[in-house]
Amino acid sequence: MNSQSPIVLRSPREILRKPPANLDRRDDALFCEAYSYSTFESRLSLFLNSKVSAQSVVYSRFVPQLGSLYRAGDVRYYRFRHLVKMFLTAHKVVLSRDRTHLLVTDQESVGHFHWFTEVLPRLWLVKDRASDLVLMLPDSSYVRETGLASLKALGLEFKEICWMESRDFYHVPRLFHVSKVCETGQMDDELMLELNRAFTRKNYESGRKLYVSRANAEFRKILNEGELEERVKAYGYEVVQPEGWPLEKQISVFSECVSLIGIHGAGLTNCLFMPPGGTVVELRKREPNYGYWHLAESVGHKYYYYHGEPDSELSLIGRGCNLTIPVDDFEEKILKII
């Protein structure tokens, strides 16, 4: 027997989204397909004598389990090439039969947005079981620093952490796996609000307005950021670069924030720590793009957007284009109304 019937941890929810607060009718096509969606049925599955790769792919009887894949379309690769590579080149690790392991990550979990919007909601669903489980995590500097700090901030204490190294292929006698709560970029509002409250138990004095700079980033930059920073400062915004901050400082600073401006990217993920009722402005390209809209609304913020001028035909998402922000127009359409 390689598995047992899964336990339903959370039933699907129907989510209805408000349009962006400053929606231009000409842009409705960029948002209208995402005004409503259903979350997934999140399940806790027990696999016996399974295999797990460092990419968080679960194999039962040598078949990759679709629920462990970031993209279902990748199943062919993981069914053949990846599996062969693991058997031929990976270091085989047999985990203890006396421990029950837990896996909630996938191939994209080491990014800030994915960790906070996909991994933590899954862990939150099994928080009452944490002390009995060994949590399997990808061995990356991000997870060792920010990931572990987020578990501590939420009070999630596991029996142990099993660090999955890229060269290893694991035999796991007893493995619990939690399936995704939502499609990537979508949110379960109740869960995100619970996380918001858990992260910000301390009652901070609010009122700060923050602009997240990507001046030190290698990609997805504001090409005229100096000019933009001067304009937002005139409206009371502080310029911050939180990518180098420990998580405790990120939580502390953004818990005091009531208005946040930034280009599409990890910095906007920190709106999760803001008191509900704030405003979030995403600088973006005129293309479908839902993640930060959904995140902001899921924790009770008003979402605004502004389309900058891209420097190429590449998408802004990923390592794509850069933007120029016409500051006079931005002031009229955003700074004067939020």
Q: The CATH number of the domain where 217 resides is what? A: 3.40.50
Q: Is 140 exposed, middle or buried (0-12, 13-18, 19+ CB in 10 A)?
A: middle
Distance CA 336, CA 324 (A): 19
176/208 same-domain check: no
CA atoms of 176 and 174, how far apart (whole Å): 7
DSSP state of 264: S
How confident is the model at residue 2, as a pLDDT? 54
198 occurs within a structural domain: no
Mean pLDDT of 49-63: 95
Task: Please indicate, yes or no, whether the overall pTM of this predicted structure exceeds 0.85.
Answer: yes
What total of structural domains would you count in the chain? Answer: 2
In angstroms, rounded to a whole number, what is the distance separating the alpha carbons of residues 220 and 310? 10
The answer on 165 and 237 residing in a single domain is no
Question: What pLDDT, on the 0 to 100 scale, is given for residue 201?
Answer: 76
pLDDT in tens, 268-311: 999 999 999 999 999 999 999 999 999 999 999 999 999 999 99
Gyration radius of the chain's alpha carbons: 21
Among the candidates 165, 180, 195, a domain finishes at 180
Please, what is the average pLDDT of the chain? 95
What mean pLDDT do residues 184-208 have? 90
Domain boundary pick from 147, 180, 213:
180
Whether residue 216 is found in the same domain as residue 176: no
What is the token pair recorded at 182? 């939502």
| 246 beta partners | none
Q: Does residue 239 sit in the same domain as residue 147?
A: no
Tell me whether residue 21 is in a domain.
no
Helix axes 291-298, 189-199, angle to 10 degrees: 70
Domain-located, residue 36: no
Residue 3 forms part of a structural domain: no
Residues 104, 158 share a domain: yes
Q: Coil, helix or strand for 119?
A: helix
Residue type for position 332: E
Which residue has 């700060």 as its token pair?
Answer: 208
Whole-number percent of the chain with pLDDT over 90:
92
pLDDT of residue 1: 41
Provide the residue range defining the domain that includes 134: 41-180
CA distance 253 to 235: 19
Q: For residue 29, which amino acid is it?
A: A
Give CA separation, 42 vs 6, 85, 178, 218, in Å. Answer: 10, 30, 7, 36
- 49's torsion region: left (phi>0), alpha (psi -120 to 50) or beta? left
N- to C-terminal Cα separation, the chain = 58
**Does a structural domain hold residue 137?**
yes
Do 240 and 320 have their domain in common? Answer: yes
Listed in sequence order, the residues at least 6 apart from 336 whose beta carbon sits closer than 8 Å to its beta carbon are none
